[in-house]
Every structure is written in C-alpha cells, then in structure tokens.
Structure 1
Amino acid sequence: MKEAMVVKATDFAGRPQDLFINDLTQSKGMILADYGSFWRDHRRFALKTLKNFGLGKKSMEERIHEETKFIIKTLDKSIGKTLSPQVMFHFAASNIICKVLFGIRYEYDDETIKMILRQSYGYVYSLFIGSKPAVVINGFKTMKEAMAVKAIDFAGRPQDLFINDLTQSKGMILADYGSFWRDHRRFVLKTLKNFGLGKKSMEERIHEEIKFTIKTLEKSIGKTLSPQVMFHLAASNIICKVLFGTRYEYDDKTIKNIVQCIRKLNQSTGAES
C-alpha cells in the first residue's frame, strides 16, 4: 500500500471513469476528473482560491472550533430527543462556508434561508443539485397536496440511464411509477404473503434470528464488531429461512458469499454508498 500510495502515487492518482460523467463534465473539474494536466490546473487554482479564504490558516481553524461549540450545544439540548446528525452536520458545514464567504452564521433552526427562497420563488420551486433537477416544496398545505391529493404525480423514482438500460425500466425498487410497477407490486405483495409476510410465522422467524444476534453481541464484548455486516447476515438469514427453510451461522462461507454478492450488485448499480 505504501509503494502504491506514496512511491507510485501518480500511477494510482486517477478516478474511476464513467462515459456519461465524462460527456457531462467534458473530462474537466477535480472531483470526478481523471488525473492529468486539466486536473492539476484545476487543483492548483482551487487550492490557491481556498487559501485566500483561509484554508490551512489559523482563521479557518478558529471558524471550525467556533462552529463545533454550537454543535456541542445542540447535542446537549437534544439529550432524550430525536436528532438527525446528518442534517445537523450539513448545517454546521454550511455555516462555516457562510462565515468564510459572508462573515455571518445562522442558527440551526433559522428560517432566513428558507424564507428567502420562499419569498423569491413561492412555496414550490426547482433547483439543480449537481447535474440533476430537484423540486423543493414548502408549507404544510403544499406538502399535503403533493403527497396526499396528488400522490400519483409524485409516486415516481429518480431515473438513471444506466439503471434503466440494465433493468429495462421494469421491477419495483428502481422502476418509475406506471403499469409495469403496479403489476410487479401486486405480484410481489401476493408472493410475499404466501411466504408469511404479515403473518405470525414471519414474526417467529424474526424472533428466532434475534436470539442468534444477541448471542453474537454477547460473544463480542471487548472485541471489534461490524454491526452493518452482522445485521446484513441476520436479514439474509431470515430471507433464507423463508425461501429455503434453513439458516446459516454468521461465520458460514455460504451466507457470507450471498451477502457479498448482494453488496457488489448494489455497489455496481449505485444503490449502496
């Protein structure tokens, strides 16, 4: 690893390339571009600009430390309550950027930015997140109309050229709303009910698997454990119990291969980050 990342760093400095992304970005930029003269020029410009804004200097460190205090206060206030760490850290990162660019920060429950957008564009407006268009809905009445009154109009899924070609626009999880989706949903629900979905037999299988999960946790006291892998194995065992009538130990090669294949499939389609 040292030889690859340090000694031969240039040889391993590239990024995975995608035909659609390359066509969209014209193979320029930094994050998605491959290593080369364009990448070096953009990197040099980006670093110079960021340094002018304080990157690598004490002023940037002070802004981060200042924002960290507000994060700690928010965490203290949220003891015993539900809190989305993802949203909180998005606010924190945005505040650091606002502090650098505009010299001001906003409270995490501040409505200023939302109000600016609402007054400028109304309760429904669109914007681009990267290269993809998105629609933002504000207000309870507008959200109720979108999600309840006009539910069918908002029942679709984000579409991707690669996924559509791979699945032929069929299936359930990634398919767009339409006749194909409704037919597949009807078939899937009927089949799952035959396998015990919504019945006591399914509940018993889940309870049985939980016992093995608890035993695994007890054995791992004082040791390192990946909860993600463990719960993947548990969920896969429940499915295997339904389909084949058997379960596997968590260290069994068969179940590990099944989970590994599913993860690779998800990664290849972008379903797993």
Structure 2
Amino acid sequence: MRECLALRALVRAWSQYREDRAIAIGENLIGAECAAERDAFLALLAASLPDRRSDLAGAIRRVQQIAIRPLAAEAAATVALVDAGTEELASVREVAASPKLPGDPATRLLTIVRVLRRSADVDSDALSVTATSPCWAINLLAVADPALFGLSPHPLPFPGLVRRRLFRSDRDLDRDRDDIADFVLEALHETLCDIARVPRAVVAFGEAFPGLRVNSRLLDTWLLLFAFGSMTPAQLARALPCTKAGAGKLLNDLKIGHFAVRHGSLEPYVTAIQFPVSFTM
C-alpha cells in the first residue's frame, strides 16, 4: 500500500510539474511521450529527497524501471534540463529553508512566493513574468521535502501548493493570501483523500478475490494500475517483472473482475474504480 500511495503522489506531482512548466503532452507518467522532461523531473525530484530510502525514492525507481529507455537525443535533453533546474531548485530551497520565515504555513508560503518574484513585469506585461517563475521548483520541493513548508507534524508530499498566477506582478497581498490559503487546503485535502483511497482499494480487491494470497501478483497488478490510472501489458511486464503474455492475463483478470476496462485491443487497461472520498475542511 505504501508504494501505491507514493506512486499516486508521484503521478500528481508530475501532473503539477507539467502544468507549471507548460508541458502539453506526456500526461501518462510511464508513457513514451515527453521522456526527456519526465526523466528530468524524476532526476530533480530524486536529488531533492532528504532520504534516498524513502517510499518516494522507491516510487521514482519503479517508474524508471517501467519507462522505456530514452533515445540518445532525449537523454542529452534530460541532462540539459537537469543542469538548468538544479540551480533554480537550490535557490528556492535556500529561501524556503530560511530561519527568518514565519511559522504559520500559509504566511510562510506567501512570504516564499513574494521573495521569489523576480521582476515587476517583462516588457510591461504583468502576466509574462509567470512563464519563467520558480513555481515548479516550489511544488517539487513540497513533494520531495515537505518539512520545509511546515504543513503537517509528519511531513507528507503535497503537490500543487502554488500556481503560476501567484507570480503575476499585478496581484495584491490580500488576493495572494486568499489564493494561497485555498491552494494549501486543496493540497492537504487531496493528500488526505489519497491516504483514505488506497486502503479502500485493497479492501475492495480482497472482497472481490477472497481466495487469493496477500502477496498475489494480481494484487500487485491492481495496486500498480490504481497508482498509474492506466497500464499496457508491456509496462506491467517491466514492472513486475514477468512476460508480456503473463501481464496481459493479469490485467484481463482485473477486467473480468470489473477492476479495469479496456476500450480496444491496442488500448491500455484503465482503472474502473475510483473510490470517491471527501473531507470537510
């Protein structure tokens, strides 16, 4: 369950990273699209982890195991992206780790954002400054090293603490404060919901397949599918590992049990159950 939870946090973090850096493709974290950017994201995240033995570190290795090996040009692009991103991450970490920051999480985050605003505008355009904002770095650190932001007694990954619009030069303090409070609550809520969803996914599987052992490969398959949202037999074969035919049978067993759907023989298997959860904030 812990790996599934970490993988789901990683999927959310990748989605937020794509939004922050205006990456229009590569929605599937383990897909073939956008390999250079995806691998750079994983490398930057891994380098930012305070504990390389954490669940999130294991989730990163799992994605790297599943992903197709990049082409030479993609690998070179990844190196360039990591080199460019490492310096910016270090700058953001220095600000976020300052002992002079307020203790209140929302006020702390507001201060970080306002310190990291680089300029009033670009060519008199208030919106243009958001295109080069360090928004992505703040959100990546909120996943890799959430203790920097003091949101919970036990640090948990919180993708999506800030949005690019916070770096617009025409925003006032009250508007920033209100938006940050909303973003923090939204990030906390989504993390809490995921913590509740994963055990429910395990319980539902046990009820549907009562004769299987706890360490069944079908359960492993279900938790991987639930984490990523969709998988092909080839991806699952690299994840377990097993043969592609064996992976296809496992995914089809989930389909027969109504835990997965497939909309064509060339399409991936998709999670059929979502387990809606909501908390009053």
TM-score of the superposed pair, with normalisation by structure 1: 0.26
Higher relative contact order (CA 8 A, sep 6+): 2
TM-score of the superposed pair, with normalisation by structure 2: 0.26
Q: Answer with 1 or 2: which has the greater Rg.
A: 1
